[in-house]
Amino acid sequence: MTYLSVVIPCFNEEVNIQKGVLFKVRDYLDKQKYDWEVIVVDDGSCDESVVQIKKFISSEKRFSLIINEHQGKAHAVISGVQKSKGEVILFTDMDQAAPIEEIEKLLPYLSKNYDVIIGSRNENRIGAPAIRLLMARGFMLLRRLILGMSGITDTQCGFKLFSRKSASAIFERLKLYSRENKVSGPMVTAGFDVEILFLAQKLKFKIKEIPIYWRYVETRRVNPITESINGFLDMIKLKINDIRGLYK
């Protein structure tokens, strides 16, 4: 690998930015031997996120900022991937629940001809409430029943690495959240990650799931019940899209 693109979606992340997460990402990448870029995609934040990001990147040539209308995390990630230049693309969350250095566990599998390497929390969900663990197991069961997806235990971890070839093929075929749409409030969509990995399997890309360090970060911005319902509905839509042949 000679060039890594890191895509970080952002929606009202003022607190995390103040904690210095962008400095931590930069400091880690600065020590690496490969070339890199970081693309922060703001999803219509209504706090001071954009101001703080602009201040940070003003002296950081390898960081860039995309400012979108509020359309949800999925569209933010898609925007970043479309603008990325790297041979390898990682998307990761601003809160760094999975620290950037965990990429060291994923990168070796590129040389083993894996196309999509995903971080997995498995049982290592440090600090996560019991209800979250129960919901994760239920979601995994529904994936198998509705979509027939097997071999992947954690589709939802926000730490995923793609070869350029796989990213180009997968992201251009996304249907659930590929169109621009205005939303209100936080929009973290479980169906987005599921659709990515469903397509990766359908397109026969070689996928590897790797356990990583991950810690639970409390947020009141997303209602777990609403998130679960929307995730279930997304899987139904995804199945209908597949039956209609939209993913050929």
Predicted local distance difference test score (pLDDT) of residue 226: 77
Under 8 Å CB-to-CB from 65, ≥6 apart: which residues? 39, 40, 41, 42, 50, 53, 54, 57
Taking 90 as the threshold, does the pLDDT of residue 180 lie above it?
no
Taking 70 as the threshold, does the pLDDT of residue 9 lie above it?
yes
Greater model confidence, 95 or 221? 95
In which element (H, E) is residue 32 found? none
At 20-42, the pLDDT tens digits run 999 999 999 999 999 999 999 99
Taking 90 as the threshold, does the pLDDT of residue 134 lie above it?
no
Among the listed residues 31, 36, 27, 32, the one whose alpha carbon sits nearest the alpha carbon of residue 6: 36
Taking 90 as the threshold, does the pLDDT of residue 127 lie above it?
no
If pLDDT is split at 50, 70 and 90, which confidence band does 2 have? Answer: confident
Taking 90 as the threshold, does the pLDDT of residue 151 lie above it?
no
Under 8 Å CB-to-CB from 67, ≥6 apart: which residues? 42, 50
Work out the average pLDDT over 75-86.
Answer: 96
In percent, the amount of the chain with pLDDT more than 70 equals 85
Predicted local distance difference test score (pLDDT) of residue 182: 55
Taking 80 as the threshold, does the pLDDT of residue 141 lie above it?
no
Greater model confidence, 4 or 220? 4
Q: Which residue has the tokens 């809160």?
A: 95
Predicted local distance difference test score (pLDDT) of residue 190: 81
Predicted local distance difference test score (pLDDT) of residue 225: 72
Predicted local distance difference test score (pLDDT) of residue 231: 84
Under 8 Å CB-to-CB from 62, ≥6 apart: which residues? 29, 36, 37, 38
Predicted local distance difference test score (pLDDT) of residue 160: 98
Distance CA 211, CA 217 (A): 18
At 88-106, the pLDDT tens digits run 999 999 999 999 999 999 9
Work out the average pLDDT over 147-172.
Answer: 93
Taking 90 as the threshold, does the pLDDT of residue 174 lie above it?
yes
User: What are 100's two structure tokens?
Assistant: 């950037």
Q: Tell me the pTM.
A: 0.89
Taking 60 as the threshold, does the pLDDT of residue 68 lie above it?
yes
Predicted local distance difference test score (pLDDT) of residue 107: 97
Under 8 Å CB-to-CB from 82, ≥6 apart: which residues? 171
Question: Is the Cβ–Cβ distance between 94 and 13 less than 8 Å?
Answer: yes
Fold classified for 3-243 = Spore Coat Polysaccharide Biosynthesis Protein SpsA; Chain A (3.90.550)
Among the listed residues 217, 215, 229, 228, the one whose alpha carbon sits nearest the alpha carbon of residue 135: 228
